[in-house]
C-alpha cells in the first residue's frame, strides 16, 4: 500500500489481493493514516487490486465508518469489473461514491 496526503485529501493506493489475510494487516495501517491526517476526503484507490472477496468489503466498510466519525467522505477509485460487481452485491455502492478515471 502507498499513501499520499495533499490539501485535506488522503489517497490510499492498495496493491495487494484483498482477502482475510491481507485485510487483517491493512485495516490497522489504513486507520493509522486516517487518524494521523484526519482528511476531509479519503480516496481508496483500487486500480492495482486484482482480487477481492468479502474481506475487502469488511475493510472498506470499517474505514467508511471511521471516516464518518470524523466527518470525512470516502471515495472508491477504479475498481475492476469483478470488484465492482462484488460491491454491488453487497450494496456498498449505495453509501460510498465509486469513481472511475
Binding site for other proteins (CB under 8 A): 17, 19-21, 23-24, 27, 51-55, 57-59, 61-62, 81-82, 86, 89-90
Q: Which is nearer to other proteins, 4 or 82 (CB)?
A: 82
Least Å from the CB of residue 87 to other proteins = 11
Q: Which is nearer to other proteins, 61 or 77 (CB)?
A: 61
Contacts of 77 (CB under 8 A, 6+ apart): 43, 44, 45, 46, 47, 99, 100, 101
Joined together, the cell numbers standing for residue 63 give 474505514
Least Å from the CB of residue 22 to other proteins = 9
CA 60, 66, 72: angle at the middle one, nearest 5?
Answer: 95
Amino acid at each position: 500500500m502507498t499513501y499520499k496526503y495533499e490539501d485535506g485529501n488522503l489517497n490510499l493506493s492498495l496493491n495487494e489481493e484483498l482477502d482475510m489475510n491481507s485485510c487483517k494487516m491493512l485495516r490497522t495501517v489504513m486507520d493509522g493514516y486516517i487518524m494521523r491526517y484526519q482528511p476531509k476526503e479519503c480516496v481508496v484507490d483500487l486500480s492495482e487490486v486484482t482480487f477481492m472477496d468479502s474481506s475487502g468489503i469488511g475493510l472498506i466498510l470499517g474505514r467508511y465508518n471511521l471516516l464518518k466519525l470524523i466527518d470525512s467522505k470516502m471515495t472508491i477509485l477504479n475498481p475492476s469489473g469483478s470488484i465492482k460487481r462484488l460491491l454491488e452485491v453487497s450494496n456498498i455502492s449505495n453509501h460510498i461514491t465509486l469513481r472511475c478515471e
